[in-house]
Amino acid sequence: MPELPDVEIFRRYAEEHALNQEIKKVSIEDDKIAATSPQTISESLRDRQLKKAERIGKYLFLPTERQSVLVMHFGMTGWLEYQKHEKSQYTKASLNFSNGYHLCFVNPRKLGRLHITDNIQEFCRYMEIGPDALAIGEGDFIQKMKKKRGMLKSALMDQSFLSGLGNIYSDEILFQAGLHPKTRISRLNEAHIGHLFSRMKEVLSLAIEHRANPDNMPDHFIIPHRKEGSICPSCGGEVQKDKLSGRGYYFCPRCQAGEEE
């Protein structure tokens, strides 16, 4: 679930519920998700407040009024829950506020991570997190693309190149742009890249407007049709499945013509 649009929804949720309240207790239920030691996480957050909720790519940053910033990454499956009593089954960490509510980091597959950093810029540099897909400007995007080689889908999903897109939304963007996922970037001209840029922005904005809910995406999206043999919402042809680096992806061979391999 958590690609850029999902994390943006989590960011807004945290902003709405979890700011400006004293954190009385920090529980780490499973040390596996603590990229920074559980003790450091607790000590950095106890008796502090979260002051902001920011997002870069798939990372959520929650700065306190001091130096410390709580960093969340959700992995393949995860979300936030703000609630008073019962914690859901897969809560791996929670912040207990003075009003009795908890902000729960729910992460069934334990592939998410919590970090503490004192500098977001440095954290991004160290973790090699590229420019955010929603924040990058067209000029930068075109410049970077011109220097990149290999296959288009791989580039869009390369977090050090551009951050925020995963398997699902890269499929959607390529479908909307009418480009085959295995298109060689070197075969694209500046007009192609500019068009890809606007489709990327459009897909991300629309996804966020629809609260990143996959069951509630626009009719012209391919996301609801990510099934083999499903019907392409644009041409009525058949959606196909293929693999790239061991990962399944979906596309419409008619709308996304281009070199195979």
Q: What track of x and - describes contact with DNA for positions 101 through 140 (by CB under 7 A)? A: -------xxxx---------------xx------------
- Determine, following the binding rule CB under 7 A, whether residue 244 of this chain makes contact with DNA: yes
- Determine, following the binding rule CB under 7 A, whether residue 84 of this chain makes contact with DNA: no
- Determine, following the binding rule CB under 7 A, whether residue 247 of this chain makes contact with DNA: yes
What is the distance between the alpha carbons of residues 151 and 163, in angstroms, rounded to a whole number?
17
Among 14, 57, 174, 177, binds DNA (CB under 7 A): 57
Using the minimum distance from each CB to DNA, give the nearer residue, 53 or 156.
156
| Neighbouring residues of 33: CB distance < 8 A, sequence distance ≥ 6 | 92, 93, 105, 107, 110, 112, 113, 114
Size of the site for DNA (CB under 7 A): 34
**Residue 152, SS3?**
helix
- Determine, following the binding rule CB under 7 A, whether residue 258 of this chain makes contact with DNA: no
Using the minimum distance from each CB to DNA, give the nearer residue, 111 or 120.
111
Question: Is-contact 196 190, C-beta < 8 A?
Answer: no
CA atoms within 13 A on the CB side of 255: 24
Question: Is-contact 71 115, C-beta < 8 A?
Answer: yes
Whole-angstrom distance between the N-terminal and C-terminal Cα of the chain?
28
- Determine, following the binding rule CB under 7 A, whether residue 215 of this chain makes contact with DNA: no
Using the minimum distance from each CB to DNA, give the nearer residue, 23 or 177.
177
User: Using CB under 7 A, which of the segments 2-10, 43-51, 117-125, 203-211 binds DNA?
Assistant: 2-10
Of 108, 66, 84, nearest to 17 by C-alpha is: 84
- Determine, following the binding rule CB under 7 A, whether residue 167 of this chain makes contact with DNA: yes
Question: Is-contact 156 166, C-beta < 8 A?
Answer: no
Per CB under 7 A, residues contacting DNA are 1-3, 6, 32, 57-58, 73, 75-77, 108-111, 127-128, 148-151, 154-155, 157, 159, 166-168, 243-248
